[in-house]
Homo-oligomer: A and B are copies of this chain.
Amino acid sequence: MRQIRNTRQRQLVLEAVRARTDHPSADEICLDVRRKDPRISRGTVYRNLNVLAESGEIAHVEAPSADRYDLRAEPHYHLYCLSCGAVADAPLPYQSEDDRRVAEETGFEIRRHQTIFEGLCPACREKAEQFGQ
């Protein structure tokens, strides 16, 4: 089986994800990493985010426009603001029994499910109300 090496670049990417709690996109992580070493290529950041998500050290969150990465590795749900694009954690427990039930009824082998609540964050809701909805 394929060995995984511990490269300086991979460490920098992992540190960059762990330094943020706001669910950054790959490009945002790329900017952060390049502040420490401007020579790191975009492809390397994308590749390492995938490797780290695959190995369970971080979480990959699918979101509209651009996927996000999350220092919280255990499965949980997210909120997405349709206006400003912000992503936040949702205060609901992961329903793993749904995975079992769906697997049983459909014959799929379920790895997990992703849930994203779409709406307006408090700040954007306020702005929208000022302009008469």
Contacts and interface: CB of A to CB of B under 8 A. Distances in A.
A125 interface: yes
Report how many copies the assembly holds: 2
Consensus secondary structure, chain A interface = mixed
Contacts of A47: none
Interface size class, chain A: 20 to 34
Contact of A79 (B92, B106, B120, B125): B106
Contacts of A107: 121-122, 125
B108 A120 contact: yes
A101 interface: yes
Interface string A92-133: 100000110111011111111111111111100100000000
Interface in A49-89: 62, 64, 77, 79, 81-82, 88
Nearest to A128: B109
B106 A90 contact: yes
Interface of A: 62, 64, 77, 79, 81-82, 88, 90-92, 98-99, 101-103, 105-122, 125
